[in-house]
Structure 1
Amino acid sequence: MHTLTDLLIVFVSAVGVILVCDRVKIPPIVGFLLTGCLTGPHGLGLIESSENVEFLAEIGVVLLLFSIGLEFSLSELIRIKRVVFWGGGLQVLVTIVVVWALVEYALGSPESALPMGLLIALSSTAIVLKTLQDRMELESPQGQISLGILLFQDVAVIPMMLFIPLLGGTAESLYRALGILGAKSAGIFLLIFLTQRYLLPRILTVVAATRSRELFLLTAVVICFGVAWVTSSAGLSLSLGAFLAGLVLSESEYSHQTLAQMLPFKDLFTSLFFISVGMTLNVSFVMQNLPEVLAWTVGIAVLKALVCMGVVAALGYPFRTAVHVGLILAQVGEFAFVLSTVCINHKILAGDSVPLFLAFSTLSMIMTPFLIAMAPRIAEAASRAPLPQRILSGFAAPSFTKTNHGEPPLKNHVVIIGFGPVGRNLARAAKSSGVPYAVVEMNPTTVREERKRGEPIVFGDASEKTVLDHVSIRDAKVVVVSLADPSMVRRITVSVRAAAPTVYLIARTRFLSEAPHLIALGADEVIPEELETSIEIFARVLTKYLVPREDIEAMIARVRAEGYHSVEGPQVPMMQWCDLLRDLPDMEVRSFRIMAGSPIAEKTIGALGLRKNWGVTVVALRRNGEWIANPGPETALKAGDVMVVFGRTCDIRKIHPLMRALEASA
Structure 2
Amino acid sequence: MTSNLLTDLLIIFGLSIPVVYIFFRLKISPLVGFLIAGILAGPYGLGLIQETENIEVMSEIGVILLLFSIGIEFSLRELLKIKRIVLLGGGLQMSITTVVVFFLLWRLGYSPETAVFMGLIVALSSTAIVLKLLQEKGEIYSAHGRIALGILIFQDIAAVLIIILAPLLAGEAVVGSDLLDLLFRGIGLVLLTLVSARYVVPFVLFHVAKTRNNELFLLSIVVIGLAIAWLTSVAGLSLALGAFLAGLIISESEYAAQALGTVIPFKDMFMSIFFISTGMMLNLGQMSTHLSLILTATVLVLVLKTAVNALTTFFIGFPLHTMLLVGFSLAQVGEFSLVTAQVGFENGIFSETIYQEFLAVTVLSMVLTPFITDLGYYSAVSSQQLSLPGILTTNRYSLQDEGQEKKLENHLIVIGYGVSGKNVGIAAQKVSIPYMVIEINPETVRQEKLNGIGIIYGDAAQKAVLEHAGIKNARSIVITAGNPVSTWQIIEVAKRLNPDIHIIARTHFLDTIDSFYALGADEVISDEFECSIELFSRVLNKYMVPVKEIETMNTQLRADHYRMLRGPEIQRKNVSGLSLDFSDVEIKSVRVEKQSEAAGKTLGNIDLRKKYGVTVLAISRNHRLMYDLKAETELSPDDILLVISPPEQLEVIRELFENDA
1:355 alignment partner AA = Q
Aligned counterpart in structure 1 of residue 8 of structure 2, from 6, 9, 12: 6
Aligned counterpart in structure 1 of residue 137 of structure 2, from 135, 138, 157: 135
CA distance in 2, matches of 1:209, 1:540: 32
Distance 1:226 1:417, change over 3 A: closer
What is the CA-CA distance between 1:417 and the residue it aligns to? 13
What is the CA-CA distance between 1:380 and the residue it aligns to? 2.4
Q: Which residue of 1 is the match for residue 75 of structure 2?
A: 73
Question: Does the CA contact (< 8 Å) of 2:90 and 2:155 recur in 1?
Answer: yes
Asked if 1:106 is matched to 2:99, the reply is: no
The residue matched to 2:393 in structure 1 has which SS?
helix
Answer with 130-139 or 532-541: which moved more: 532-541
Q: Which residue of 2 is the match for residue 51 of structure 1?
A: 53
Answer with 20-29 or 57-66: which moved more: 20-29
Q: Which residue of 2 is the match for residue 359 of structure 1?
A: 360
Asked if 1:530 is matched to 2:532, the reply is: no
Distance 1:543 1:143, change over 3 A: farther
Distance 1:510 1:135, change over 3 A: farther
Question: Does the CA contact (< 8 Å) of 1:417 and 1:423 recur in 2?
Answer: no
What is the CA-CA distance between 1:111 and the residue it aligns to? 3.4
4+ residue runs over 6 A deviation: 416-419, 423-426, 536-548
Question: Does the CA contact (< 8 Å) of 2:198 and 2:252 recur in 1?
Answer: no
Structure-2-length-normalised TM-score: 0.61
Q: Which residue of 1 is the match for residue 155 of structure 2?
A: 153
CA distance in 2, matches of 1:290, 1:511: 53
Distance 1:211 1:355, change over 3 A: same
1:530 alignment partner AA = N
Deviations 1:148-194 (A, max 9, x none): 11111111111111111211234441x22110001111112212322
Q: Which has the larger radius of gyration?
A: 2
Aligned counterpart in structure 2 of residue 163 of structure 1, from 162, 165, 190: 165
Asked if 1:339 is matched to 2:373, the reply is: no
The residue matched to 1:49 in structure 2 has which SS?
coil
Q: Which residue of 2 is the match for residue 463 of structure 1?
A: none
The residue matched to 1:48 in structure 2 has which SS?
coil
Q: Which residue of 2 is the match for residue 40 of structure 1?
A: 42
What is the CA-CA distance between 1:418 and the residue it aligns to? 13
Question: Does the CA contact (< 8 Å) of 2:165 and 2:174 recur in 1?
Answer: no
Q: Which residue of 1 is the match for residue 279 of structure 2?
A: 278
Within-5 A mapping of 1:451-466: none
CA distance in 2, matches of 1:532, 1:421: 25
Aligned counterpart in structure 2 of residue 116 of structure 1, from 102, 115, 118: 118
Deviations 1:330-370 (A, max 9, x none): 11111111111111111112142112111111111111111
What is the CA-CA distance between 1:2 and the residue it aligns to? 2.3
1:271 alignment partner AA = S
1:164 alignment partner AA = A
Question: Does the CA contact (< 8 Å) of 2:328 and 2:373 recur in 1?
Answer: yes
The residue matched to 1:215 in structure 2 has which SS?
helix
1:152 alignment partner AA = F
1:100 alignment partner AA = F
What is the CA-CA distance between 1:425 and the residue it aligns to? 9.3
Q: Which residue of 2 is the match for residue 85 of structure 1?
A: 87
Distance 1:171 1:213, change over 3 A: farther
Distance 1:283 1:211, change over 3 A: same
Distance 1:542 1:148, change over 3 A: farther
The residue matched to 1:137 in structure 2 has which SS?
coil
The residue matched to 2:23 in structure 1 has which SS?
helix
Distance 1:325 1:540, change over 3 A: farther
CA distance in 1, matches of 2:291, 2:384: 33
Distance 1:23 1:256, change over 3 A: same
Q: Which residue of 2 is the match for residue 441 of structure 1?
A: none
What is the CA-CA distance between 1:135 and the residue it aligns to? 1.2
CA distance in 1, matches of 2:387, 2:73: 40
Gaps of 5+ in 2: 411-470, 476-495, 506-520, 535-550, 560-661
The residue matched to 2:236 in structure 1 has which SS?
coil
CA distance in 1, matches of 2:293, 2:141: 37
Distance 1:510 1:336, change over 3 A: farther
Deviations 1:235-260 (A, max 9, x none): 01000000100111011111111111
1:139 alignment partner AA = Y
What is the CA-CA distance between 1:226 and the residue it aligns to? 0.3
Deviations 1:375-401 (A, max 9, x none): 2221122344564332333556xxx9x
Question: Does the CA contact (< 8 Å) of 1:9 and 1:46 recur in 2?
Answer: yes
Within-5 A mapping of 1:212-611: 212-385=213-386, 387-394=388-395, 421-422=405-406, 530=498, 534=502
Distance 1:510 1:352, change over 3 A: farther
The residue matched to 2:254 in structure 1 has which SS?
coil
CA distance in 2, matches of 1:83, 1:192: 21
1:167 alignment partner AA = L
Q: Which residue of 1 is the match for residue 467 of structure 2?
A: none
CA distance in 2, matches of 1:278, 1:218: 31
